[in-house]
């Protein structure tokens, strides 16, 4: 059996790795230059930072076992801190006792560990899936290349991007909501100034929902370019309303919010914004962990099928393999 996996996020890589372990030939196609999807890491001349997911949790036993292995291998570390909560314009300690993990030295270290030994073709945008289960599936690429001979195709990209690829080929398309994800402006800020050491993460307000003090995380590199490195995630509502803002405007609003929240004066040395069109999922989205069409040999998996978390992406990647093998 030969399988094509579209998307090299956690779900796609987990699926591909599990297939390989079961003796299945598998190819992974990824439109971006790097691996990990929303575990993306950005490297600039002044610093390196995680642009998407800032940490993850492990609740399911299967994922806990995998995280324990990664921890032993140094691929992940525990981020032990008490988050702050912005309440009535003041920061208070959060009462939660959640155990949080980060990739080491960066979030996409998880993706690189999953991808070891896999055939992954990056910077390759899939524009079509042609053929049928009977004659075999062909993956069509933006550069006009064609990769034929697949018995199964597994899509692990955002649901909105699955629809145009399979809409006329399977009943699965009818099970995908038209609008699944909510956007997010993310903003990296490199600052100089003194901030209390206990402030490492902040649950914010209706404009900025989460702040990571990246320079306080385990394995974070030191830099002569700044005292602290921050990552701000603006709320889905704010991001949707302000999609067309200029990057410098987002940066200006972000540093103003951070200073007002911390009640300190900071000098912004560097900044970098990024607009995630497919960030968090809407709260009313309900879906099984995978969608499978055993007649057409097409399947869909991904974080959006499992509450949008890193753990959900991993479990969805495992579950789709069980369904595929048993079909």
Cβ-based neighbour number of residue 40 at 10 Å: 23
Round to whole Å and give the CA distance between 4 and 154. 6
The average confidence (pLDDT) of the chain is 95
Residue-wise pLDDT for 123-135, tens only, equals 999 999 999 999 9
Q: pLDDT at position 168, please? A: 83
Q: Which two tokens stand for residue 321?
A: 């393999």
Q: Who has greater pLDDT, 305 or 302?
A: 302
pTM (two decimals): 0.95
Residue-wise pLDDT for 221-247, tens only, equals 889 999 999 999 999 999 999 999 999
Evaluate the CA torsion angle 41, 42, 47, 53 in order and state its sign. Answer: negative
Mean pLDDT of 125-146: 95
Mean pLDDT of 246-261: 98
Q: pLDDT at position 237, please? A: 97
Contact 306, 313 (CB under 8 A): yes
Q: Which two tokens stand for residue 193?
A: 């100034």
Q: List domains and CATH numbers for the chain.
A: 2-46+109-179+286-326 (3.50.50.60), 61-106+181-281 (3.90.660.10)
Band (pLDDT 50/70/90 cuts) for residue 171 is confident
Mean pLDDT of 40-56: 96
Check whether 306 has a pLDDT greater than 90: no
Check whether 287 has a pLDDT greater than 80: no
């Amino acid at each position: 059996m030969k399988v094509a996996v579209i998307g090299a996020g956690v779900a796609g890589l987990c699926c591909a790795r599990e297939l390989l372990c079961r003796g299945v030939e598998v190819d992974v196609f990824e439109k971006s230059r790097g691996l990990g999807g929303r575990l993306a890491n950005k490297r600039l001349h002044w610093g390196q930072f995680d642009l998407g997911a800032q940490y993850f949790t492990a609740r399911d036993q299967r994922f806990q076992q995998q995280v324990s292995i990664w921890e032993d291998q140094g691929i992940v570390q525990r981020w032990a801190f008490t988050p702050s909560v912005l309440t009535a314009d003041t920061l208070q300690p959060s009462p939660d006792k959640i155990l949080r993990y980060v990739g080491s030295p960066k979030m996409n270290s998880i993706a690189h560990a999953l991808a070891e030994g896999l055939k992954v073709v990056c910077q390759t945008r899939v524009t079509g899936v042609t053929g049928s289960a009977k004659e075999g599936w062909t993956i069509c690429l933006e550069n006009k290349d064609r990769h034929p001979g697949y018995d199964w195709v597994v899509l692990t990209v955002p649901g909105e991007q699955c629809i145009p690829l399979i809409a006329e080929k399977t009943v699965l398309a009818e099970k995908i909501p038209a609008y699944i994800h909510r956007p997010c402006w993310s903003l990296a800020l490199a600052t100089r100034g003194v901030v209390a050491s206990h402030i490492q993460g902040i649950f914010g307000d209706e404009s900025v929902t989460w702040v990571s003090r990246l320079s306080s995380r385990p394995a974070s590199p030191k830099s002569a370019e700044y005292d602290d490195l921050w990552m701000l995630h603006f709320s889905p509502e704010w991001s949707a309303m302000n999609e067309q803002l200029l990057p410098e405007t987002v940066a200006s609003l972000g540093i103003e919010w951070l200073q007002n929240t911390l009640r300190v004066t900071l000098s912004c040395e560097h900044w970098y914004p990024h607009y995630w069109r497919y960030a968090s999922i809407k709260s009313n989205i309900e879906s099984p962990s995978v969608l499978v069409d055993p007649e057409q040999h097409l399947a869909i998996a991904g974080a959006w099928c499992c509450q949008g978390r890193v753990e959900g992406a991993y479990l969805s990647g495992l579950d789709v393999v069980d369904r595929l093998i048993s079909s």
